[in-house]
Structure 1
Amino acid sequence: MSRTDQVVDGIKRMILDRELGPGDRLPVEKELAETLGVSRGSLREGVRALSILGIVDTRQGDGTYVTNLDPGRLLAPMGFVVDLQGDGSARPFHAVRRLLETEAAGLAAARITPEALADARDVLDQVDEILGHAPVDHDRFIETDIAFHRIVAAHTGNPVLTALIESLASRTVRERLWRGLHEEGAEQRTHGEHEAIWRALVAGDADRARIRMANHLLGVEESLPGVPDDAPDDTP
């Protein structure tokens, strides 16, 4: 194990053992380096690595603090991993997204607020406007797609599920998906599917919300480049 890894593991262990908690300041550099048995240079490298992972935050002239350890922040690096994948690797990631968002729709049906439903309605009305102009503004369309799915995911009552969905459905992923969709009327079909999801959420019908979301994302998945029409259906 390298000295940097030793620092990373040591500080993570301190957090797991509750010696440090969210918002706590790390011991001064000299003291922490001695505790972990490393040099100050190795300590700084380890702290930089933990900062990238969203575990600590270094404030100039003030010290280094444990972050709030919010799942969204800690899982954010996974989104970069998804973004790095080529088009040929899109389907496995999208399949996981489909499973997660299908369950998210069911959970949201029981938890989504009237205010959030109104926000989702506003998003869908924006799509009506976008589709009313030719050619379709795909940048705006992608923005509304992200906004609609984000509203659903945010009302699952499960911050880890919300963070996982966010990391699997970044703008880069959305743009890659739409580059591969050459079917006539794909935007209108997607909008109609979003409308069906919204109606299920308004009705508070969890089963119908799951079915509508699964149908929507399975259709996207089957449209991905390189996915044969007779590919095995692994819908849950």
Structure 2
Amino acid sequence: MESEQTGRPSRRKMKIARVSIVDQVCASIKQDIADGIWKPGDKIPSEAEFADMFGVNRLSVRMALQKLNTLGIIDTRVGEGSFVCKFSLKPILSEISIFYEGEDKYRDVQQLRNLLEYECTRLAVHSATEEEKKELGEALKHYNECALALSKDPYTPEVLANAVDADFNFHYKVVKMSHNKLYKDIYYMVQQLIRSHITELISTRNRRRYEAGLPFIGEDDTHNKIYNCIINSDTEALRAANDEMLGIVPIRGMDVIE
């Protein structure tokens, strides 16, 4: 658009957003925490001290601290002051997980698990400590015990629930072994969706085998394969084991009964 007076293109007027004092104070404190000036567990200055530091009134500081408290960045205790929290996305992300629930989301969750679990397992192959591998071995042992019980009785809700807990615990340990905090938080956030997916998957598979009169799958269970991939640093076999575990590639005797 040209100006009628000058014949030159006119500039479009844009509204300039004003940043409130509260937001400025909040951003400054948050940045100091991110920079490590105050670490998790540290007590931060009082409202009065911050008001003096920033040259603002105490109400603005109080509102900024309330905002940080709501975000889970600090914890304000009556009579004690405010302390830096070990920040996590869990409380925030868990609030929105409900929007991804529903029977039609089964394939979506399967694809999400594929992305997260495969990548975390791949990272775990290289980053897992000996102690973590030992703990994963214990988790696998517990899973196998629960899986054996489920293979003998796939219709009792309590037996299924125990197997789901053990299954999720195994995978969550692998996710934590990736040493990627964001992956861990996201996995924790969607755990209800993952648990629902695990429930549907192992319930269907075990009922098929039970009704077909097939024995416990034992060492051929994909969880054992994934564990061995991590222990033996075998990334080549990992992709196939992951796809079988999630049902992306059908397994004979589990997804296909002949």
TM-score by length of 2: 0.66
* Residue 102 of structure 1, aligned match among 97, 105, 118: 118
Identity of aligned residues (%): 25
Alpha-carbon separation, structure 1, partners of 2:177 and 2:107: 26
The alignment yields a C-alpha RMSD, in angstroms, of 3.5
| Structure (1 or 2) with the larger CA radius of gyration | 2
- Stretches of structure 2 that go unaligned for 5 or more consecutive residues are 1-18, 210-216, 250-258
In the alignment, what sits opposite 1:78? 93
Q: RCO higher in 1 or 2 (8 Å CA, sep ≥ 6)?
A: 1
Residue matched to 1:185: 205
Change (3 A) 1:156 1:80: same
Aligned to 2:214: none
Report the Cα distance in structure 1 between the residues aligned to 2:227 and 2:53, rounded to whole angstroms.
54
> Where in structure 2 are the equivalents of 1:49-88 lying within 5 Å?
49-69=67-87, 73-87=88-102, 88=104
TM-score normalised over the length of structure 1? 0.71
1:155-194 matches, cutoff 5 A = 155-168=177-190, 170=191, 172-177=192-197, 184-185=204-205, 192-194=221-223
| Cα offsets for 1:188-217 (capped at 9, x unmatched) | 789933333234334331232243224433
Match of 2:149 among 114, 117, 129: 129
Structure 2 counterpart of 1:173, one-letter code: L
Larger mean CA deviation between 203-212 and 90-99 belongs to 90-99
Match of 1:58, SS state, is: strand
Amino acid at match of 2:99: L
Equivalent in the alignment of 1:29? 47
Whole-Å Cα distance in 2 between the matches of residues 202 and 10 of structure 1? 45
More off after superposition, 76-85 vs 189-198: 189-198
Question: Which string of whole-angstrom CA distances, capped at 9 and with x for unpartnered residues, describes residues 98-124 of structure 1?
Answer: 212101112223425234213322222
1:135-154 to 2 correspondences below 5 Å: 135-137=155-157, 138-154=160-176
Instruction: Give, in whole Å, the separation in 2 of the partners of 1:36 and 1:180.
Output: 55
Structure 1 residue runs of 5 or longer lacking an equivalent are 221-236
Q: Is the 8 A contact 1:102 1:211 kept in 2?
A: no
Structure 2 CA distance for aligned equivalents of residues 58 and 89 of structure 1: 38
